[in-house]
Structure 1
Amino acid sequence: MEDGETNKDVEVAPALIAVQPNQRSVAVAVGADLRVFNLHAGSAASLVDESGSSFHKDFIRAIRFGAKGKLFVSSGDDKIVKIWSVEYWRCICTVSSEKRVTAVAISNDGSYVCFADKFGVVWVVDLTGYDGNQPLVNKKATPLLSHYCSIITSLEFSLDGQFIVSADRDFKIRVTVFPSNPINGAHEIQSFCLGHTEFVSCVAFVQAQDYPHGLLISGSGDSTVRLWDIVSGALLDTCEVATKAGLLESNNDKSEERDHAVTDLCTILDGLLIAVAIQSFQGIVLLKCNPATRTLSVSKLVSIEGGAFVPTSLGNGASTGILWMVTGVSNLPGSSCPSFARVRAISGFDVEQEPTVVEHDKIPGGEQLLENLQGSASVDDAVFLAAAEAVKTAMCNLLIKKQYPAENRESKKRTRNDKKFKL
């Protein structure tokens, strides 16, 4: 990477998981395949798309339930954003994107769907007044804000809906005032949260009595989780999770940090606990957030035995104390099982219990859920580990900016093909 050389390995896509806030449904995406299990009915949900187009044709990179659980959004490399009504799992709207989509978010009241593309532009789709009875036709996205050619990795609305937070690969977190009429664009920047030394991979909010917007937490390729006040942009605390987990020594080695990037985080019990997934850790790191003292600390390491399970995505229903995890990949080169997903769950997140991995026969939805969300292919530990390494390489290629020696920079300037010639 120091030479600026591009890795030519085949691109892969990690498996993703999302949980409806009331935990009625769990969704898993692997490659272009979207699988949904209805826990209330105890069966797989049948997705209906009457838009005239097929389901996703390329890797799904982002999935999200709305705060009220009525809407679901999926999008990715096919430049298509699909908005689903969760009640009947019907696609109510298909919106085209100019570029590949990297992140999605739904406003707290369900009136707006936002998505970010690979060129750093955030777009908004207006759903104001939609009653959920009929499909929406001819809906188009309009630009909301831009990070100017920096890949946006995560989007999140503040708890009160007043701000939208966008994070990118250039270490930045931007806090923007979400306007009353976002179709005209968002022009007021509240703050920048600056302090990460590598790409920001994920953000989320925790509840705090003195902060109606919530306190922001962020994970990064620098192996840290950080706590922020979004109004001022002040960094409140930093937790070196990889170091605390014993995966990384405190030697400020950038290459080592990249091997232990934070890939996802998920709040539990209104943010009092934060589950953190790290690239090389077979399990999760549990952090404790103390809003009163505005601090983060490591609470527990939860290892997953019986297989090389390195989570690629985390999800949690707000009404339960169950954390859902998925590991998996699509398009894994040289494997007899190029696409697979494996789902696990952890329960016992309260003061009287120790968090434990739920056995397969006791997982909500049981074997039926696992069969529908995972597929039936048998996967051994070697494939799991190969998948984890492939995801790590893909994230590195996409998000870590390449550094070129001075002589290489001048050569590339002379040979670039986007020069403007005067006529």
Structure 2
Amino acid sequence: MEETAMEDGDHSRDREVAPALIAIHPTQESVAVAVGSDLRVFDLHNGCPISLVDDSSEPFHLDSIRVIRYGAKGKLLVTAGDDKLVKIWNTDTRRCIYTVSSEKRVSAVAISNDGLFVCFADKFGVVWVVGLDGLHETQTLSSKKAVPILAHYCSIITSLEFSTDGRFIASADRDFKIRVTVFPKKPLDGAYEIQSFCLGHTEYVSCLAFVCALEYPEGFLVSGSGDSTVRLWDIASGSLLDTCEVSAEAGLVESNGKEDECCFAITDLCAIPNSSLVAVAIQGLPGVVLLSCNLSDKTLSIFKVIYIEGEAFIPTGLGTSSSAEFLWMVTGVSNLQGSDSTSLTRVKAISGLTKINPDSGELETTVLEDNDVPGGMQLLEKLQGSASIKEEVFLAAAESVKIAMRNLLIKKQYSVERRDFRKRGRNDRKIKH
């Protein structure tokens, strides 16, 4: 019976899909997309694809990439995922300057605002830190090690974010919790001072983002969850300031005809710089929701719903630069049965996020046609491939992402008999003779 269970688990692991991810350079010099183990980068400044160099391995990743992000200063690009490798790339030289092996699969990454530390989290709830001070391209891979900095109790960490002022690091997990930790001056010695816990979600927390304004430079935290809500938090006290039932207010529940909250999990958040807006991607929505965050009143409300007309484009990742000139979106998955996973990706961009019509007070947003996207067709051919894919395939991809996220982050429920059987097999319950 145990062998059968193990075989089922291995078979399920083989079928596991990974959503396509996107990251935007802070000054919009480049755009990076990951789908499965494939990493694609396009140089927007020079209008050409970027070829990365990694002397340690080829291909760069051996399994699905789960995290991809640029540092605040744009000097670093970090990729990590199911192959338990965290790769740190120098965006100037386009080389991998450091590869660290994680003990478990990596689920989240954050880069300190000064670019001196990279933190990554694993599936067992441990957050590790790597110091980059003095790291040069010629250093050997063994010269620096990752050390544990904090941990959640045996819970998958789903998101890591540094606060706007760099004083805190927020971590979210599968067990509905958000922890705000003071980021110490010597992170390699550990982070032991917990600022607050933000508790209130009723399902897994999927994503985090910080929003700020001139009058609130320390910022506030927003979180998305499998409970279909986006919530606003005071990080100093952990107080819940407001809750927005995003999927219901966007009309998803009514249009579907049934109230199944898990079908409309929040998949990604993107705070729009220099504004009070937060872009939200929701499972089942062919477009994005723009939330208005009123920091003075400490409230969240739906500002606008932007639909992608004419095709089944349900974003799996969002990103923007510090200028917020465009909101970039990607959809797609890897390992979708019956499809070419290397090209099952679509990229789109929305302009006008900072242009408000003085007469109507509304944003003049536009979903750009392929030819109007920065970088044009050359960018799209690099990031998404040139293959023609039918709409029903992307609908199947969206459904696969929903199922994969649910299987990964929703806790399994067992019968009493099954729980007893599992307990008997635990190492700590075995009687030593």
Alignment TM class, shorter chain as reference = over 0.9
Q: For residues 312-391 of structure 1, what are the structure 2 equivalents within 5 Å?
A: 312-335=316-339, 339-349=343-353, 350-352=355-357, 353-391=363-401
Separation in structure 2 between the aligned mates of residue 62 and residue 337 of structure 1, nearest angstrom: 18
**Deviations 1:221-264 (CA, angstroms, capped at 9, x unpaired):** 000000001010000110000000011259xx8x7110000000
**Structure 1 residue 148: deviation in Å?**
1.7
- Report the AA paired with residue 115 of structure 1: F
Separation in structure 1 between the aligned mates of residue 207 and residue 123 of structure 2, nearest angstrom: 16
Q: Which has the higher contact order (CA 8 A, sep 6+)?
A: 1
TM-score, normalised to structure 2, is 0.92
**Structure 1 residue 11: deviation in Å?**
0.5
Q: Relative to structure 1, is the Cα distance of residues 44 and 215 closer, same or farther in structure 2, using a 3 angstrom cutoff?
A: same
Equivalent position of 2:251 in the other structure: 246
1:137 aligns with 2:147: no
Q: Relative to structure 1, is the Cα distance of residues 358 and 332 closer, same or farther in structure 2, using a 3 angstrom cutoff?
A: same
Equivalent position of 1:303 in the other structure: 307
**Deviations 1:71-114 (CA, angstroms, capped at 9, x unpaired):** 01000000000000001211000111000000001000000000
Equivalent position of 1:32 in the other structure: 37
Separation in structure 2 between the aligned mates of residue 197 and residue 336 of structure 1, nearest angstrom: 36
**Structure 1 residue 405: deviation in Å?**
3.2
Equivalent position of 1:278 in the other structure: 282
- The SS at the match of 1:49 is coil
- The SS at the match of 1:379 is coil
**Structure 1 residue 337: deviation in Å?**
5.3
Q: Relative to structure 1, is the Cα distance of residues 33 and 203 closer, same or farther in structure 2, using a 3 angstrom cutoff?
A: same
Q: For residues 91-170 of structure 1, what are the structure 2 equivalents within 5 Å?
A: 91-130=96-135, 134-135=138-139, 137-138=141-142, 139-170=144-175
Which ranges of structure 2 fall in alignment gaps of 5 or more residues?
1-7, 358-362
- Report the AA paired with residue 45 of structure 2: H
| RMSD (Å) for aligned C-alpha atoms | 2.0
**Structure 1 residue 271: deviation in Å?**
4.6
Equivalent position of 1:394 in the other structure: 404
Q: Relative to structure 1, is the Cα distance of residues 120 and 234 closer, same or farther in structure 2, using a 3 angstrom cutoff?
A: same
Equivalent position of 1:411 in the other structure: 421
**Deviations 1:342-370 (CA, angstroms, capped at 9, x unpaired):** 10000111212421101111110011100
- Report the AA paired with residue 200 of structure 1: V
Which ranges of structure 1 fall in alignment gaps of 5 or more residues?
none
- Report the AA paired with residue 370 of structure 1: L
Equivalenced residue count is 416
Separation in structure 2 between the aligned mates of residue 180 and residue 271 of structure 1, nearest angstrom: 30
- The SS at the match of 1:330 is coil
Q: Select 2:272's aligned residue among 268, 272, 279.
A: 268
Q: Relative to structure 1, is the Cα distance of residues 420 and 271 closer, same or farther in structure 2, using a 3 angstrom cutoff?
A: farther
Which stretch of the first structure deviates more once superposed, 198-207 or 335-344? 335-344
**Structure 1 residue 65: deviation in Å?**
0.3
Equivalent position of 2:360 in the other structure: none
Equivalent position of 2:294 in the other structure: 290
